[in-house]
């Protein structure tokens, strides 16, 4: 089963960890709008794609043998010092070094995967770093202001009225477009709703591929609100997704069990309420529980599609019989 997962940061990390328990053919498509912390500094200094979310995806896809060797801990290690290395993640530095050596982004990522024994495929969501701008409305005064950069959008206090990227029409990697079109399943989210997930929807090549693909599409909802979705319930988040994805139809919506009482907007998608949070933190997805939920969703969707295919075949036979009958009468 070919699965493509879109997102960024910790949300995509959890999805990939879960999918590793479901299938071996996984492609991660990672947001490239990060401009804060270690990623932001490397992006500014070297002009590279922000490596942080790519590093997170690679860590999630590390094989069991690689994990036992300490690969994940090494990639995720963050320096603490009084100097320039303070705050940098080692994996970010390794990716940046490999990109400089190879002068090819995808080749550099593959080289890191080979060196560290990392499975799957990791692809950036665009060929160039993205700059985010949002219109944010203050909930107290109603005043609307412009907020620039992913870092500021992620912590903006207020309702996000609009989201834009610069450049407006960034090129997507052909490999990412082809992976989406060839996928059996595509997952969207969870993660920072605007600054991670919806950024993907603003990249024309990615959005159009999502509309073309025949893959089953699963929308994963966040378990708790963050700064970006303050005041937005599940319905509000789904409406925002529709607006930025050009009304992309999804086959399933997966939410936490705590949202089971919420009234969702009319949709053709099947809605699954599952216990998918960790026992210690209601806002964090548990990979094992998420994997179990994925299996439930995929089994249901597979059965539904089989029934639909059977109905289509019956209709086709009925039409053929009707044509035969008309021919005999004529």
Full residue range of the structural domain in which residue 93 is found: 2-127+173-294
Tens of pLDDT, residues 239-277:
999 999 999 999 999 998 876 656 666 666 899 999 999
Tens of pLDDT, residues 70-120:
999 999 999 999 999 999 999 999 999 999 999 999 999 999 999 999 999
Q: Evaluate whether 282 touches 223 at the Cβ level (below 8 Å).
A: yes
Q: Which of the four pLDDT bands, split at 50, 70 and 90, describes residue 330?
A: very low
SS3 label, residue 27 = strand
Tens of pLDDT, residues 1-37:
999 999 988 899 999 999 999 999 999 999 999 999 9
- Nearest CA-CA partner of 127 in 42, 36, 203, 39: 203
Task: Answer whether residue 303 is part of any domain.
Answer: no
Task: Answer whether residue 82 is part of any domain.
Answer: yes
Q: Which of 133-147, 202-216, 305-319 has the highest mean pLDDT?
A: 202-216
State how far the Cα of 18 lies from the Cα of 196, in Å rounded to an integer.
Answer: 19
Where residue 187 sits, what CATH number does that domain have?
Answer: 3.40.50.10680
| Count: domains in the chain | 1
* Residue 28 Cα distances to 212, 215, 220, 274, 302, angstroms: 18, 15, 15, 23, 22
Task: Answer whether residue 320 is part of any domain.
Answer: no
Task: Answer whether residue 252 is part of any domain.
Answer: yes
Task: Answer whether residue 304 is part of any domain.
Answer: no
Tens of pLDDT, residues 31-74:
999 999 999 999 999 999 999 999 999 999 999 999 999 999 99
State how far the Cα of 62 lies from the Cα of 120, in Å rounded to an integer.
Answer: 9
Cα-to-chain-centroid distance, residue 275:
20
Task: Answer whether residue 299 is part of any domain.
Answer: no
State how far the Cα of 99 lies from the Cα of 92, in Å rounded to an integer.
Answer: 11
Query: Residue 159 is encoded by which pair of tokens?
Result: 């309702």
Signed CA dihedral, 213, 215, 221, 222: sign only: negative
Q: Who wins on pLDDT, 327 or 157?
A: 157
Task: Answer whether residue 64 is part of any domain.
Answer: yes
Task: Answer whether residue 163 is part of any domain.
Answer: no
């Amino acid at each position: 089963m070919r699965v493509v997962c879109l997102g960024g940061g910790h949300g995509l990390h959890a999805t990939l960890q879960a999918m590793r328990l479901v299938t071996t053919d996984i492609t991660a498509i990672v947001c490239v709008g990060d401009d804060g912390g270690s990623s932001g500094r490397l992006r500014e200094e070297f002009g590279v794609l922000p490596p942080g979310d790519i590093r997170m995806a690679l860590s999630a896809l590390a094989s069991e043998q690689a994990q036992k060797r300490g690969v994940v801990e090494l990639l995720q290690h963050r320096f603490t010092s009084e100097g320039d290395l303070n705050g940098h993640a080692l994996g970010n530095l390794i990716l940046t070094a490999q990109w400089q050596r190879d002068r090819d982004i995808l080749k550099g990522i593959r080289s890191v995967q080979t060196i560290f024994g990392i499975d799957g495929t990791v692809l950036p969501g665009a060929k160039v770093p993205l700059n985010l701008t949002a219109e944010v409305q203050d909930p107290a005064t109603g005043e609307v202001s412009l907020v620039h950069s992913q870092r500021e959008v992620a912590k903006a206090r207020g309702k996000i009225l609009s989201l834009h990227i610069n450049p407006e029409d960034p090129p997507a990697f052909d490999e990412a477009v082809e992976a989406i079109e060839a996928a059996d399943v595509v997952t969207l989210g969870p993660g920072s709703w605007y600054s991670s997930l919806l950024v993907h929807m603003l990249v024309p090549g990615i959005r159009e591929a999502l509309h073309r693909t025949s893959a089953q599409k699963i929308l994963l909802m966040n378990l708790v609100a963050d700064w970006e979705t303050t005041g937005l319930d599940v319905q509000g988040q789904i409406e925002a997704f529709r607006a930025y994805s050009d009304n992309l139809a999804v086959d399933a919506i997966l939410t936490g069990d705590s949202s089971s009482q919420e009234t969702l907007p009319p949709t053709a998608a099947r809605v699954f309420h599952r216990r998918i949070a960790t026992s210690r933190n209601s806002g964090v997805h548990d990979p094992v529980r998420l994997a179990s939920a994925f299996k439930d969703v995929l089994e249901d969707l597979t059965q539904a599609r089989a029934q639909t295919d059977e109905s289509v075949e019956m209709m086709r036979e009925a039409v053929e019989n009707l044509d035969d009958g008309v021919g005999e009468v004529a």
